[in-house]
Amino acid sequence: MSKVLYRTYRPKTFQEVSGQEHVVRTVLNQYASGSIAHAYLFTGPRGVGKTTTARLIAKLVNCFSPKKNEPCNACDACVSIASGQALDVYEIDAASHTGVDTVRETVIDSVRFAPNVLKKKVYIIDEVHMLSTSAFNALLKTLEEPPEHVLFVLATTEIHKVPETIISRCQRFDFKRISADELVERMKGIVKEEGVRVDETVLREIARHSGGCARDAESLLGQVLALGEKEIGMTEASLVLPATQTVLVEVFVRSLKDHAAAQAMTQFNTYLEEGIDLRQFVSDTISWLRDRLLETVGGKTNEFSIAFLQTAIEELLATQQMRANEQLPQLPVELAIIKICGVDFHKQGVDSSRKGKSEEIIVTVAPPCLPAGRGFSLGEAIDEPPNPPTVFDTVPIISLEDVKNKWPEVYEQIKSCNASLPMLMQSCEVCGVEGEHVELGFEYGLYVETINQEKNRRLIEGVFEQVLGQRLRVKAIQKKSKHSEDEMVGELLQEFGGSVV
């Protein structure tokens, strides 16, 4: 449904190409001095403008009335190339099965013949590293003695797979990831064209998620614009943008602070099972802790003690240096959890000489829901737990009434960490609780879909965990609306000629 911005706003001139000035300037200088190469090799990450630039070169060398080193975008040559109809411009995706055969048979054979209409035949071969050895050999012969009327542009994301013999016959350009500033500038141009106001914070967030890839940025922007609003801020955009891990990190850190080792361990392992990247999670947690440390030192908050923040940062940093066991990559973090939870920050502050000694370890028994094979032995520490057992010692069952009583608190918490979800949650009703499963009823299917999206579901589960002290599974369901029930009653009454008493 979302508009394909990447195609609509593909740069039509070299001026519009973002972030690849070094390539553009060299190519245009060559063009101006009549020394365009016969073969270019573009390498770099996906979605940064390699094929776009290749098409621009195809236009430039064939344009009937170029203006100031730019294709006119109006002549027959420019128009036919832009629409993909030009007989003399061949675009081949070597990653497809047909690509390999096309290169070997069609390209190499047709190279000898003069162009049909245009000045030059242009062969754009994308993902060229995928070619077979025989196809590379055939291509190499052509590159060694290229006919005057032919121009090759090869593009690849994996230059190390391209034979040295091919690379040495081409003029090579390395395309860079596009900087966040450049992506934001580009997106500003697009939203202006679309007549929509989008907050710069939203554009920055999109740029951050795109990792320097224009195609990803424009695809995300397309989804944001598809919301159909005329003004889009973070509130609206957060429904579409990928979840940040901030909420998960926060929930995890609070468990550490509460010395709830078992709980932190379960959270951490659940996140992993749900596909979170371990290294990313650890570094996100460290940077979140650092932010709190700066705030605490600066006197802005006293929610966490400096001793806790310092210990947690040190222990997590240490896990990044540890050589992880291949079968159990999560082990260093699990050990860090035990160490962090074992320090009594109120009694001793940070005493690194005693930190981590077994007699200090205050941990609760591993929860029954800890995944099999990921359990850990606490040795003697289990025999005499110095702390009262956590809620995990009992079977995690909670009543519908408990959940309903705590609902206002849950709602307030959700409001504090997400701006858009509360709009949907307002109409929500806690329908049922069974074991660890909580059913939330909504009137509209769209709401159900949104709440059941992993990032939203996780956020709500995280809040439930904070408020109720145990991990619950949340599922949104569609409840029968009052309205339709009334209608049904009305219909029945009509049918049987009765009335409501």
Residue 414, amino acid: I
- Region from 76-84, 178-186, 224-232, 304-312 binding Zn ion, contact rule CB under 5 A: 76-84
Show the site string, 326-345: x = touches Zn ion by CB under 5 A, - = not: --------------------
**Spatial distance between the Cα atoms of 281 and 271, rounded to a whole number of angstroms:** 9
Minimum Å gap between C-beta 66 and Zn ion is 6
**Spatial distance between the Cα atoms of 342 and 253, rounded to a whole number of angstroms:** 14
Q: Which helix (H) or strand (E) holds 258?
A: none
**Count of residues in contact with Zn ion, rule CB under 5 A:** 5
Per CB under 5 A, contacts with Zn ion among 440-459 are none
| End-to-end CA separation in angstroms for the chain | 48
Question: Residue 65 or 325: which CB sits closer to Zn ion?
Answer: 65
In this chain, which of 28, 57, 78, 191 binds Zn ion, going by CB under 5 A?
78
Question: Residue 63 or 86: which CB sits closer to Zn ion?
Answer: 63
Helix (H/G/I), strand (E/B), else coil: 3: coil
Question: Residue 61 or 75: which CB sits closer to Zn ion?
Answer: 75
Beta strands (DSSP E) in 180-235 are: 197-198, 231-232
CA angle (299 as vertex; 293, 302 as ends), nearest 5:
65
Is 362 near Zn ion (CB under 5 A)? no
Per CB under 5 A, contacts with Zn ion among 169-208 are none
Minimum Å gap between C-beta 65 and Zn ion is 6
Question: Residue 71 or 332: which CB sits closer to Zn ion?
Answer: 71
Question: Residue 56 or 138: which CB sits closer to Zn ion?
Answer: 56
Q: Which residues of 93-124 are buried (b: 16+ CB within 10 A; e: fewer)?
A: bbeeeebbebbbeebbeebeeebeebebbbbb
Question: Residue 75 or 417: which CB sits closer to Zn ion?
Answer: 75
Helix (H/G/I), strand (E/B), else coil: 172: strand
Minimum Å gap between C-beta 123 and Zn ion is 20
Question: Residue 70 or 218: which CB sits closer to Zn ion?
Answer: 70
Helix (H/G/I), strand (E/B), else coil: 316: helix
Give phi and psi for 161, each to the nearest 5. Answer: -95, 0
Per CB under 5 A, contacts with Zn ion among 44-73 are 63, 71-72
* Positive or negative: CA dihedral 142, 144, 147, 153: positive
What is the token pair recorded at 53? 């630039």
In this chain, which of 36, 75, 108, 306 binds Zn ion, going by CB under 5 A?
75
Q: Return residues touching Zn ion (CB under 5 A).
A: 63, 71-72, 75, 78
